[in-house]
Amino acid sequence: MNRILGKIRLFAKEIRFEHSIFALPFALISMLVEARGLPEWRIFFWIIVAMVGARSAAMMFNRIADVKIDRLNPRTAERALASGKITPAQAWVFMLISAGLTVFAAYKLNTLAFLLSPLALFALLFYSYTKRFTPFSHLWLGLCLGIAPVGACVAVRGVIGFASCVLCCAVMLWVAGFDVIYSLQDIDFDRKQGLYSAASVLGGKKALAVSGLLHIGTILFLTAYGLIADLGPLYFVGVALSAALLVKEHLTAPVKINKAFFDINGIMSVTMLAFTGLEVFIGRIL
């Protein structure tokens, strides 16, 4: 039993389950806005299942695709697959089961979600190769997480709503911006291995400037989303707080990259979910 629990902990650590705090809140924001409250429990359940499956498949495939690179990088050499704590066969089985779970959850939601699920999975899996040929890999990663609110809209309404696409753009720029900051840790390694990132191509200072521009775009798109979705003042309080958090992130990043990456962005996503929820459930009554 202890061996099984240990293996489960290894897989959970490998896919960094705690990083679900980035995309999941924005999927739930889209769900609440499109349903103007909570949808029926069935839709909520299968949205969560699809999110967990898609993210797990993407993260494990990233470990599979990058295993040789991870072994060379001191920062990632102790990852479970790179260090041999889990085998390639185990990683593939986990990834395929997770991908299958995503498709099944989409099938249980509606026809459009089912038809779009292979395209979403392709986008998620292909990201793992983008750093090999383009510094725009940060934007591709952002798009992968930005799919979440669009998927939630499809789950609730069975259509790709314009507002959800605007929220997708906000998430894409937000994620790309903080991924640029995260890439500062590997600037020398990426250059040595011929890998592309904003930091390895532009240098640290210019990369931080690009990250700042991306986060300005994030706030603009979050504002546009609130206007298009006809959200009230409580939502925009969340946007204002998020803007303040992003400013703090850029002040923190040069000193504490991991704190800027995880703590501040996690707080921002939860803040946006909380204030959107307040707007949806309370704001229209006030």
Residue 142 and residue 161: Cα distance in Å, rounded?
19
Which domain, by its residues, includes 208? 2-283
Per-residue pLDDT at 77: 83
Is residue 285 pLDDT above 90, yes or no? no
188: phi then psi, degrees, rounded to nearest 5: -70, -40
20, pLDDT greater than 80: no
* Mean residue pLDDT across the chain: 89
Using left for φ > 0, alpha for ψ between -120 and 50, and beta otherwise, residue 36 falls in: left
The predicted structure's pLDDT at residue 86: 85
Whole-angstrom distance, CA of residue 149 vs CA of residue 28? 7
* Predicted confidence (pLDDT) per residue in 108-159, tens digit: 999 999 999 999 999 999 999 999 989 899 999 999 999 999 999 999 999 9
Q: Is the confidence at residue 2, as pLDDT, over 60?
A: no
| pLDDT higher than threshold 60 for residue 4 | no
Higher-scoring residue by pLDDT: 282, 154:
154
Kindly indicate the confidence band of residue 185, based on its pLDDT and cuts at 50, 70 and 90: confident
Torsion of CA 62, 76, 136, 172, to 10 degrees: 70
Taking residues 220-231, what's their average pLDDT? 97
Alpha carbon distance 75, 3 (integer Å): 26
CATH number at residue 83: 1.10.357.140
Q: How many domains does the chain have?
A: 1
- What confidence tens digit (pLDDT) does each residue in 72-110 have? 888 888 888 888 888 889 889 999 999 999 999 999 999
Name the maximum alpha-carbon separation found in the chain.
Answer: 58
